Chains A and B, each alone.
Chain A
Amino acid sequence: MNKKPLYIALVAVLVIAAFFIGGMVDFTAAPQQQQAAEQEAPAQPTPAPAAPVQPPQQPDRPGIINIYTSRHYGVEPVFDKFTEETGIEIRFTTGSDALLRERLRAEGANTPADMYIAVDAGNLWLAAQDGLLAALDSDILMNNIPENLRDPEGRWFGLTKRVRTLMYHPDRVSPEELSTYEDLADPRWKGRIAMRPSTHSYTQSLVSSLIAAHGVERAEEIVRGWAQNEPVYIDSDTRLLEALAAGEADVAITNHYYLGRILQDNPDFPIQIFWANQADRGAHVNVSGAGVTAHGPNRENAIKLLEWLSGDGQEMFASTNHEFPANPNVAAHPIIVGFGEYIADPLDKSEYGRLQAEAVKLLNRAGYQ
């Protein structure tokens, strides 16, 4: 009998078994990442009890922080720096704001996450509303972050500001033609605008601010006007700007830092920024911010990180992504300083969350894709 196939099969089975065992190890580790001692005692059979009962950490082991974050662009260097300074290891789980919040809610008291970082104030508000975030009493945070950029109860803190505003191609649009978000509903923009689809929270928060300013009925008229102007829908701010540059549309609404990011690599990029609604309530500002979770196992470390991000780490955190620092004492990146001063819509950021479901329904009703 030819034994060769049997040997091959045996090797295959062994390889599969090896992977499988590897899988099982990972498989037990995944849900229990909160165990700081995991690497030293991987075979610990029972999951760690809730944080207060946890044995005190050894002084020479600074521990870890688990972060749920929807920021996946250029954030690593600043966290690497924090690890360098403190020795605290940081682990990320990325996902969309909404999905991560859903997970936090589903995990409840068992969550491995210590910190929730969202790119949209609406989601921070919703997370706080669901009781997922702990109220912090930190003088450092209160002093560093202005009142209108944080939760009054200290459950979340804005760390960077992003302005969602008008972008245009100067060859085809003169700045005198531009004024407000509302104006893009005017029929003269038909076939000339590019927008982000309604599935994205940036669009949803912008529409929430319209509802707050005008009420549902008037906001729906505006959004219907946008939709009737048949925008090109592109689910990426970078691609929206590239579409403007290529001539697919003349005006778009995007976050300011996407332009900053492109200009960094290509200073000749033709698209110009226009601060919207400067004659009335001001441009739509959202924050990217963070909160410490209500049930995370490494709360002290998480607070330390949050305080550091609002102070020493602030400049690096904001400028790697060309965002405006929330801390007024910290300088912004020169490229976005070049965009000029702007007036910001003073609307309470919590409104974005309060009005989100209403905004989604409104977008659907208005026929906005």
Chain B
Amino acid sequence: MFQKLPLSFFNKDKGPYGLLSVFMFIAVGLTLLPAIIAASSLLSPSFEVWAHLWDTILPRMILNTLLLLTGVSIGTFMIGTVLAWLVTAYEFPGKKTFKWLLVLPMAVPAYIMGFIYMAMFDFAGPFQTFFRNVLGMQIAFPQIRSGFGAIVVMTLVLYPYVYLLAKAGFEEQSGSAFEAAKVLGAGRLRTFLKVALPLARPSIAAGVALAAMESLADFATVRYFNFPTVADGILRVWHGLMDLGAASEMAGLLAFFSLLLLLSEQKLRSRRAYHQTKGKNQDVPATFLTGRKAFAAVFLCASVFFAAFGLPLIQLIYWAVLEISQITPHALSVYGQLASRSLTLSVTAAFFTVFTALFIASVSRLGKGKFLRYLARASTVGYSIPGAVIGVGILIPLSALDRYINVLAGSLWGIDLGLIFTGSLIGLVYAYVVRFMAIAYGSVDSSMDKIPPNTVLAARVLGANAWRIIFHIKLPLILPGIIAGAVLVFVDVMKELPITVILRPMSYDTLSIWVWQMAAESLWTDTALPALAIVLVGIVPVWMLMRKR
């Protein structure tokens, strides 16, 4: 009976829970606000703009969005699943290294990968020029400035989501199912298709959904590739037609797409149960590959790794060397400032996100029923909403609030407070918290689940007071979860583009903004150092993730 007590960061028998849950309601409400604002703008549509868009570019944008979703889903599914199966079910030279090398492309944001591929592989780029001028071959390369290019690039940076989850799915599987399949005469391929793949379906579906979601939210990469999607449309309407209202309605449309995605992922998981019992030493038996087959396996892993990580890294380093050779003190100080701003933002956002997650996860354990737990889950919805939607959904209420406060302060005290929310980092950090809450919450919540109730009860029996229990037992136990959550949010904020573009205060360029702007002007070498910094920082959590295994 004692063991069933939901244990929380706070002690259950102390403190005013009523007040705490009110705070929690407010916190969860604030994380839901941007989505609600964006969705509610759809209730009063700007008919004139929509009619114009519908007659002109909207159908193509919707079609492009669907094409991108389909292409990236299929691409990441194929690459991610095949590679995961290869490193789970087979032994070949270098397998241990490839196992984690293949995760690294995750550290390259799509908008960086996009312009690198563009610079290398478009008609005037070194690759095609080499074939034309040196080899004298007239090959009709596919146009890289197209949906094809966008899909290839996004597949390359997003397949690790599927790879990681599929690998976990395969590793959880019990070897006995495979023995059974073997005894019944199924070949290796048949076993994969009929046993391993269906069993790993929930993990794979989750991975593909993540990848698809990311591609849906992207607006920078698709613009490099002349492949306007709905996300790009938000900026077109806002900056070209100068209509923020219509832009936020467009954001509502985007939110609708991501809802569709979430539903289809649920559908894919379906109502089946996927329980498996796995005893000791019952891993999926690995087959040793030799000769040509081993070579093929190594070749496949190496070429995916090279295309998705090696090549872009080499290009960035090459540009960085060019840049360093002629760098001015001024440029150096600009880079220093960009880096310190990115760091400031990432650290601040990581702090507030983890803090809020900790609070919500703790309070949600106080209630008797499941209501508070569901409410806590709802606060993580931001991760499935594209950044641009959150950005616009926050800009609208905060700028209204700013205006209201200024009118009020002006009439009451005759002072001018300035733009408190939209002119500072408050709006920006708020948006990051909303967007990345899911990451921090998942991390903190799961480590809270692991606090052994007996240890806490024992401490209490031994006379420890509430504070002592919090600081000497609970906090140290959930610290790894807190740190992991903070690092993940840190890296995601470092890479983040759409929210930063929309909500950054004036004169607040970050590394990612700089890279995006310089890449848009084709000033490749100017992007190199900041882009390298983003990629290298992105490797940190991958390294942490892999070290744990």
Contact = CB atoms under 8 A, between A and B. Distances in A.
Interface of A: 5-6, 9, 12, 16, 19-20, 22-24, 26-28, 30-33, 46-47, 49-50, 66, 68, 72-73, 76, 80, 91-94, 96, 98-99, 102-103, 106-107, 109-110, 112-113, 197-199, 204, 232-236, 238-239, 242-243, 245-248, 357, 360-361, 364-365, 367, 369
Contacts of A361: 52, 56, 241
A234 B419 CA distance: 37
B176 interface: no
Contacts of B446: none
A12 B344 contact: no
A31 B53 CA distance: 36
Nearest to A238: B522
Nearest to B505: A30
Contacts of B231: none
Contacts of A235: 223-224, 226, 520
B509 interface: yes
17 contacts: A16-B347, A20-B348, A26-B340, A26-B344, A27-B344, A27-B424, A30-B423, A31-B505, A33-B507, A72-B521, A99-B239, A112-B506, A198-B240, A232-B123, A239-B122, A245-B124, A357-B240
A27 B52 contact: no
A199 B423 contact: no
Contacts of B55: 365
Given A33-B507, A246-B132, 11 more contacts: A16-B351, A22-B344, A27-B424, A102-B238, A113-B506, A236-B521, A239-B122, A239-B522, A361-B241, A364-B53, A364-B57
B344 A23 contact: yes
A208 B224 CA distance: 24
Interface stretch (B26-34, B410-418, B538-546): B410-418
B486 interface: yes
A80 B506 contact: no
B507 A92 contact: yes
A236 B330 contact: no
A130 B240 CA distance: 16
A23 B145 CA distance: 39
Contacts of B53: 364
B344 A9 contact: no
A72 B523 CA distance: 11
B115 to A, nearest CB: 10
A239 B119 CA distance: 9
Contacts of A239: 122, 124, 522
Interface in B365-408: 399, 406
B57 A6 contact: no
Given A12-B483, A199-B240, A73 B521 contact: yes
A49 B409 CA distance: 12
A92 B333 CA distance: 13
B70 interface: no
Interface in B475-513: 476, 479, 483, 486, 505-509
B422 interface: yes
B419 A80 contact: no
Chain B: number of interface residues, binned into ranges: 35 or more
Given A5-B476, A235-B223, A110 B124 contact: no
Given A20-B351, A232-B145, A31 B423 contact: yes
A27 B55 CA distance: 44
A31 B418 contact: yes
B496 to A, nearest CB: 16
Nearest to A28: B424
Given A31-B418, A33-B507, A47-B417, A199 B236 contact: yes
B341 A26 contact: yes
B517 to A, nearest CB: 7
Contacts of A99: 239
A271 to B, nearest CB: 12
Nearest to A6: B476
B242 interface: yes
B190 to A, nearest CB: 47
B357 interface: no
Contacts of A113: 506
B240 to A, nearest CB: 4
B344 A103 contact: no
A248 B141 CA distance: 12
Contact of A96 (B124, B239, B415, B523): B239
B181 interface: no
B347 A31 contact: no
B417 A106 contact: no
Contacts of B129: 246
A23 B417 contact: no
A6 B472 CA distance: 10
Contact of B506 (A103, A232, A247, A248): A103
A105 to B, nearest CB: 10
Contacts of B520: 235-236
A152 to B, nearest CB: 24
Contacts of B422: 106
A246 B416 CA distance: 56
A218 to B, nearest CB: 19
A106 B423 CA distance: 9
Given A19-B347, A364-B52, A30 B424 contact: yes
B509 A94 contact: yes
B242 A98 contact: yes
Given A68-B506, A238-B521, A19 B344 contact: yes
A242 B126 CA distance: 11
